[in-house]
Structure 1
């Protein structure tokens, strides 16, 4: 199930921490789609609580569940390119991509920057030993502040839209190279969270405003 549906379910059950619940409440109140999804989840939970025997979900709910499960393969069109990007075999890469089904503290570095979550893993043998490889998840509207790259960085957009401070916007399938010494900031724009793959050499340092 998608991370958003998981969060809505946890919200409906009242098991989110106060900070996350408050943030999600604002998102729900500003999105008719999220309100509808939450209502469906709450209705399903009520039916489950009252049921004395297995239930057959409504066609609408069944479709929503099926679409959520399909999140596991939402990046299937990029897998071959990502295998080259990270120098990893298909199975290993697909295992890493499943982490996007549920962004949690078990596997992710949560709130590395405001609204930004990081998932780290090792690249293949042809990736530089000092490279930091992984996935970056930036919630809509959030930014990664201006920073300088100490080495080269490659980013591959998988979902959402990445807007640079120079106004350039990158979309799923775009691959961006930033050379050592380059300075930039980026923002997640659009309705969906920004998700991109990254290979970062030598790290980065934030630039004082």
Structure 2
């Protein structure tokens, strides 16, 4: 594979327009290097978008880009990673991601501008609370303590953690047991993430209403 083809596939992977079979092939080829190369590719795309004159892409690529920006296909790059995170089959992960486009999927929570989707994970998630969380852009998720480990996969947007770190789209974040923090969703786009958490305390919240069902 030439360097140009490699770079082109990384760009389409980052944009969510790479076909599933090519995505899987690229994941096998890059292995543990994939996330680092994707992060560099996204940074390069951001820089290019502000420095180059706009030119229309080829029609076939344009159609794929539009399909990836609007509708359930935009979450397709996360199918395999979500399946591993919540221990379900890839097809089930695909269905769950597609459902995020429907407003009726989301349930209100006691927190202002915070909505939830409750899920049942696979055997590896037994005893954990599993689901999706949507935090309106610019909203601060209140300070809370993790009773057990938490594992997060960001599907859209990003957030600034109270420790000063930033977590963006495609990043995986872990919180250890007995850790505590708050975070603020980036402006401009709602934050959406998948979560597997082994217990959490949020002062003033009815946790039966906040937590997804246990798997």
TM range (shorter): 0.5 to 0.7
> Do the aligned partners of residues 112 and 103 (structure 1) sit closer, same or farther apart at CA in structure 2, a change above 3 Å counting?
farther
Count of paired positions? 140
Q: Deviations over 1:52-87 (max 9, x none)?
A: xxxxxxxxxxx9xx6588421111111111111111
Residue number in structure 1 paired with 2:120: 122
Q: Does 1:205 find its partner at 2:198?
A: no
Mapping of residues 56-205 of structure 1, within 5 Å: 67=67, 70-104=70-104, 107-127=105-125, 129-201=126-198, 203-205=199-201
Measured after TM superposition, the shift of residue 118 of structure 1 is 0.5
Q: Deviations over 1:136-180 (max 9, x none)?
A: 111111121000011110011111011111221111111111011
Q: What is the TM-score of this pair, normalised by structure 1?
A: 0.62
Structure 2 SS opposite 1:126: helix
Q: What is the TM-score of this pair, normalised by structure 2?
A: 0.60
Q: Do the aligned residues in 2 keep the contact of 1:114 with 1:143 (CA within 8 Å)? A: no
Task: Determine which structure has the larger strand proportion and give its number.
Answer: 1
Q: Alpha carbon RMSD of aligned pairs, Å?
A: 2.0
Unaligned 5+ runs, structure 1? 1-62
User: Between Structure 1 and Structure 2, whose CA radius of gyration is higher?
Assistant: 1
Unaligned 5+ runs, structure 2? 1-62, 205-215
For 1:161 and 1:182, locate their aligned partners in 2 and report how far apart those are by CA, in whole Å.
Answer: 20
For 2:80 and 2:73, locate their aligned partners in 1 and report how far apart those are by CA, in whole Å.
Answer: 13
Q: Do the aligned residues in 1 keep the contact of 2:132 with 2:193 (CA within 8 Å)? A: yes
Measured after TM superposition, the shift of residue 196 of structure 1 is 0.5
Runs (4+) of structure 1 exceeding 6 A deviation are none
Q: Do the aligned residues in 1 keep the contact of 2:80 with 2:93 (CA within 8 Å)? A: no
Q: Do the aligned residues in 1 keep the contact of 2:72 with 2:99 (CA within 8 Å)? A: no
> Do the aligned partners of residues 69 and 102 (structure 1) sit closer, same or farther apart at CA in structure 2, a change above 3 Å counting?
farther
Q: Deviations over 1:66-116 (max 9, x none)?
A: 658842111111111111111111121111112210233xx3321441101
Structure 1 SS opposite 2:85: helix
For 2:69 and 2:176, locate their aligned partners in 1 and report how far apart those are by CA, in whole Å.
Answer: 38
Task: Determine which structure has the larger helix proportion and give its number.
Answer: 2
Q: Do the aligned residues in 1 keep the contact of 2:160 with 2:183 (CA within 8 Å)? A: yes
Structure 2 SS opposite 1:166: coil
